[in-house]
């Protein structure tokens, strides 16, 4: 095969992306305005039949529909803009050609990553990638890929999760910093106040905060879910339902009569999730007064 990832690295360098010799390159993204045409041309250059270009999941970080062509030393990912986002800007700046490098997260210690990493998003390699925040909107781009080998898992939150939780809060429209979250976690470290996080592919992709309180009108307790956020890139994968289940486990372990959550009118998708796992609208109105 004439076309390899190694042969494309100098083209990435000419566009402003210098890769470390220790980087574990597993894929190169090729930007195009016509995925089908690019598939024919690149397959021919690689000495392969067009049928060897397979459909691939969208690249959510770059805003692209994708195809995949496996060559001798990795995967060539064909990327066509789906939105007016990063990839469209790259095409306007550089034209068609190599525009992104996918590196293996497992082979690259995260401490060595330079630049802020954005939240993980589904990628064409069948897992998730974290995009290094580009210095220029038009790239080229570096993405750290993590294979999806297992489903999401739930565990208790720790101080080490503060940055990830703060990012989830901020992305949802509630600005918070890691120090804010660490202080809140210290207040939610008991049998009756706790925070659980969801991990997927080694990354925190959601959390739920639960508080248990006694009722005065009855001799029992109730649990209230105070916060529940799932990263937008992994919704529809059951993460929200797992977090709800974790909250209910806390409620049962503390002998609660029931568990409740508030659903804002501006978030109908959240209300659908709650109803799908058995939550019902109550007879009481929820009123609030700012102090």
pLDDT digits (tens, 9 = 90+) for 145-164: 887 656 788 899 999 899 99
Three-state DSSP class for residue 234: helix
Q: Please determine, for residue 98, whether its predicted confidence score (pLDDT) is greater than 70.
A: yes
Dist CA 137 CA 140 (whole Å): 9
Q: Is residue 282 part of a domain?
A: no
Same domain, 10 and 138: yes
Host H or E run for residue 240:
helix 239-253
pLDDT at 108: 56
**Is the distance from CB of 92 to CB of 171 less than 8 angstroms?**
no
Q: Which of 147, 163, 185 is the last residue of a domain?
A: 147
Higher pLDDT, 230 or 22: 230
Same domain, 126 and 24: yes
Same domain, 161 and 124: no
Name 80's bridge partners. Answer: 65
Dist CA 179 CA 191 (whole Å): 23
pLDDT at 266: 62
Q: Is residue 186 part of a domain?
A: yes
Angle formed by the axes of helices 239-253 and 268-276, to 10°? 60
The number of angstroms, rounded, from the C-alpha of 122 to the middle of its chain's C-alpha atoms is 7
Three-state DSSP class for residue 39: helix
What does the pLDDT look like over 159-182, one tens digit per residue? 989 999 999 999 888 899 999 999
Domain with 212 in it: 153-276
**For 103-111, what is the mean pLDDT?**
64
Q: What percent of the chain has pLDDT over 70?
A: 89
Dist CA 61 CA 74 (whole Å): 20
Same domain, 177 and 253: yes
Same domain, 224 and 126: no
What does the pLDDT look like over 207-251, one tens digit per residue? 999 999 999 989 999 999 999 999 887 877 788 888 988 999 999
pLDDT at 115: 59
Q: For residue 85, give the CATH number of its domain.
A: 3.10.180.10
Higher pLDDT, 93 or 111: 93
For residue 15, what are the contacts with CB-CB under 8 A and spacing of at least 6?
A: 94, 97, 98, 99, 139, 140
pLDDT at 149: 57
Same domain, 39 and 104: yes
pLDDT at 110: 46
Only one residue has tokens 């550089």, namely: 94
Same domain, 210 and 91: no
Dist CA 7 CA 42 (whole Å): 13
Q: Is residue 289 part of a domain?
A: no
Global confidence as pTM: 0.53
pLDDT at 168: 94
Same domain, 84 and 204: no
Same domain, 179 and 60: no
pLDDT at 223: 95
pLDDT at 112: 46
Mean of per-residue pLDDT scores for the chain: 86
What does the pLDDT look like over 73-87, one tens digit per residue? 889 999 999 888 899
Q: Which of 130, 147, 164 is the last residue of a domain?
A: 147
Q: Is residue 281 part of a domain?
A: no
Which strands form 25-31's sheet, in the order they lie side by side? 54-59, 64-71, 74-81, 25-31, 97-104, 141-147, 127-131, 121-122
Q: What is the DSSP letter of 173?
A: T
Q: Are strands 141-147 and 97-104 parallel, antiparallel or unpaired?
A: parallel
Q: Is residue 284 part of a domain?
A: no
**For 97-108, what is the mean pLDDT?**
84
For residue 6, what are the contacts with CB-CB under 8 A and spacing of at least 6?
A: 73
Q: Are strands 25-31 and 74-81 parallel, antiparallel or unpaired?
A: parallel
Instruction: Assess whether the previous peptide bond of 140 is cis (omega < 30° from 0).
Output: yes
Least confident of 8-17, 199-208, 278-287: 278-287
- Give the total number of structural domains in the chain: 2
Same domain, 214 and 262: yes
Q: For residue 199, give the CATH number of its domain.
A: 3.40.630.30
Q: Please determine, for residue 264, whether its predicted confidence score (pLDDT) is greater than 50.
A: yes
Q: Which of 147, 164, 199 is the last residue of a domain?
A: 147
What is each CA distance from 138 to 95, 130, 172, in whole angstroms? 11, 17, 25
Same domain, 265 and 165: yes
What is each CA distance from 68 to 109, 177, 236, in whole angstroms? 26, 38, 24
Same domain, 208 and 271: yes
Q: Is residue 117 part of a domain?
A: yes
Q: Is residue 286 part of a domain?
A: no
**For 76-99, what is the mean pLDDT?**
93
Q: Is residue 288 part of a domain?
A: no
């Amino acid at each position: 095969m004439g076309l390899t990832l190694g042969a494309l690295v100098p083209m990435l360098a000419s566009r402003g992306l210098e890769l470390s010799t220790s980087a574990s390159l597993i894929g190169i993204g090729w930007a195009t305005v016509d995925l089908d045409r690019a598939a024919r041309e690149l397959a021919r250059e690689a000495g392969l039949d067009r049928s060897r270009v397979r459909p691939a999941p969208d690249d959510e970080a770059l805003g692209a529909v994708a195809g995949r062509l496996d060559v001798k030393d990795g995967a060539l990912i064909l990327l066509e803009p789906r939105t007016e986002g990063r990839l469209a800007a790259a095409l306007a700046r550089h034209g068609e050609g190599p525009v992104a490098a996918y590196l293996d997260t497992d082979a690259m210690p995260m401490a060595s990553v330079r630049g802020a990493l954005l939240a993980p998003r589904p990628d064409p390699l069948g897992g998730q990638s974290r995009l290094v925040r580009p210095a220029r909107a038009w790239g080229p781009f570096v993405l750290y890929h993590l294979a999806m080998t297992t489903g999401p898992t739930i565990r208790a939150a720790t101080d080490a999760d503060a940055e990830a939780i703060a990012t989830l809060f901020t992305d949802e429209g509630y600005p918070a910093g890691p120090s804010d979250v660490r202080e809140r976690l210290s207040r939610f470290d008991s049998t009756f106040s706790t925070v659980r996080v969801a991990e997927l592919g080694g990354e925190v992709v959601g959390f739920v905060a639960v508080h248990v309180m006694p009722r005065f009108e009855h001799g029992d307790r109730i649990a209230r879910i105070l916060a529940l956020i799932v990263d937008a890139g992994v919704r529809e994968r059951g993460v929200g339902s797992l977090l709800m289940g974790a909250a209910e486990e806390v409620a049962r372990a503390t002998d609660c009569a029931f568990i409740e959550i508030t659903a804002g009118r501006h978030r109908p998708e959240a209300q659908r999730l709650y109803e799908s796992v058995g939550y019902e609208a109550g007879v009481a109105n929820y009123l609030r007064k700012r102090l």
